[in-house]
């Protein structure tokens, strides 16, 4: 299982939120904006999805945040308490008030490898998984899609990495460094050899085969001078991952030094957002 640094997730949160494609978000708000709604967030990390989506959903919400990392779930709890206007602990759960909303949050530490769709998710109105499915292998994703479609649940899955990265100003090794990084993206992250950049299209295909409606949007990170810290962390992560592969190009250290020095130039990272809806419920 791969480890995700809370500081990295904190750094990307604002960019994630501003990058989400409007179409799926508007559809979610139209679909779940009125009646009380239960949401399960798979690979929830620090609870970023709740902070983004809560204002779009009905004022009575219950969320279950599922992640394999106890440290991230602890971080999520503390981030959510800071974010809310008021919070009360009820056993292991939290009751939050934020603007007009009342939000009950449960935290569940679980490895999704052996159980792609936990019972709480199979019973939820809405399943959310942000920046998650590119970690999954084909067998796991197929098992997930079978369970999702059998349970006829709606899935919002934004920010699935699509393999594209561009930086400014360009460097001769950009393409080779990206190829090595993308090779690393296809290694096993605990859910089988990962599909990486192919995961979004594959998930869409599996859901459509079962009659699901799929609304797609693009959600590229567009990074500028103000995102220098994120760009720096991004290129460091890229170089570190690339260096672990057989494809690592000669000159990777010099590439990284150039990219760090020109981080203010920013760039773009491609993602796809998916909203998958059971037959008869999609517009």
Ligand X SMILES: C[S@@+](CC[C@H](N)C(=O)[O-])C[C@H]1O[C@@H](n2cnc3c(N)ncnc32)[C@H](O)[C@@H]1O
Least Å from the CB of residue 169 to ligand X: 28
Least Å from the CB of residue 20 to ligand X: 11
DSSP state of 280: T
**134/255 with CB nearer ligand X:** 134
User: Which residues are at the interface with ligand X (CB under 6 A)?
Assistant: 1-2, 4, 9, 43-45, 48, 67-69, 72, 111-113, 130-132, 135, 190-191
**161/212 with CB nearer ligand X:** 161
Is residue 225 classed as helix, strand or coil in its secondary structure? helix
DSSP state of 248: P
- Residues 88, 129: contact at Cβ < 8 Å? no
Strand 93-98 to strand 101-109: parallel, antiparallel, or no bridges (unpaired)? antiparallel
Least Å from the CB of residue 138 to ligand X: 15
Beta-carbon count within 10 A of 233 CB: 16
Cβ neighbors of 243 (< 8 A, separation 6 or more) are: 180, 252
43 φψ region: left (φ > 0), alpha (ψ -120 to 50), beta (else): left
DSSP E strand stretches across the chain: 37-42, 60-67, 86-90, 93-98, 101-109, 126-128, 154-167, 213-218, 221-223, 267-277
**118/266 with CB nearer ligand X:** 118
Cβ neighbors of 65 (< 8 A, separation 6 or more) are: 41, 44, 47, 50, 73, 76, 105, 106, 107, 108
**136/173 with CB nearer ligand X:** 136
Least Å from the CB of residue 123 to ligand X: 18
Least Å from the CB of residue 26 to ligand X: 20
**45/176 with CB nearer ligand X:** 45
**34/111 with CB nearer ligand X:** 111
> Quick check: bond before 192 cis, omega within 30?
no
Least Å from the CB of residue 44 to ligand X: 6
**60/164 with CB nearer ligand X:** 164
Least Å from the CB of residue 196 to ligand X: 12
Closest of 38, 92, 97 to residue 63, by C-alpha: 38
- Phi–psi pair at 72, nearest 5 degrees: -70, -40
């Amino acid at each position: 299982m791969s480890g995700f640094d809370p500081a990295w997730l904190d750094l990307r949160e604002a960019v994630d939120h501003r990058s989400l494609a409007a179409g799926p978000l508007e559809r979610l708000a139209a679909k779940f904006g009125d009646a009380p709604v239960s949401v399960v967030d798979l690979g929830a990390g620090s609870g970023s999805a709740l902070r983004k989506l809560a204002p779009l959903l009905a004022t009575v919400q219950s969320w279950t945040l599922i992640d394999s990392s106890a440290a991230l779930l602890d971080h999520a709890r503390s981030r959510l308490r800071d974010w809310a206007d008021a919070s009360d602990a009820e056993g292991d759960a939290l009751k939050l008030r934020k603007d007009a909303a009342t939000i009950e949050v449960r935290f569940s530490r679980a490895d999704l490898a052996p159980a792609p769709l936990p019972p709480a998710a199979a019973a939820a109105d809405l399943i959310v998984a942000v920046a998650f499915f590119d970690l999954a292998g084909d067998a796991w994703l197929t098992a997930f899609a079978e369970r999702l479609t059998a349970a006829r649940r709606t899935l919002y899955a934004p920010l699935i990495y699509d393999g594209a990265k561009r930086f400014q100003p360009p460097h001769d090794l950009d393409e080779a460094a990206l190829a090595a990084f993308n090779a690393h993206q296809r290694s096993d992250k605990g859910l089988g050899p990962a599909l990486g950049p192919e995961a979004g299209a594959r998930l869409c295909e599996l859901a459509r085969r079962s009659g699901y409606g799929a609304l797609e949007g693009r959600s590229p990170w567009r990074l500028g001078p103000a995102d220098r810290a994120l760009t720096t962390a991004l290129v460091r992560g890229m170089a570190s991952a690339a260096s672990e592969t057989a494809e690592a190009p000669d000159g990777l250290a010099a590439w990284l030094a150039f990219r760090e020095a020109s981080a203010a130039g920013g760039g773009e990272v491609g993602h796809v957002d998916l909203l998958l809806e059971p037959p008869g419920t999609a517009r």
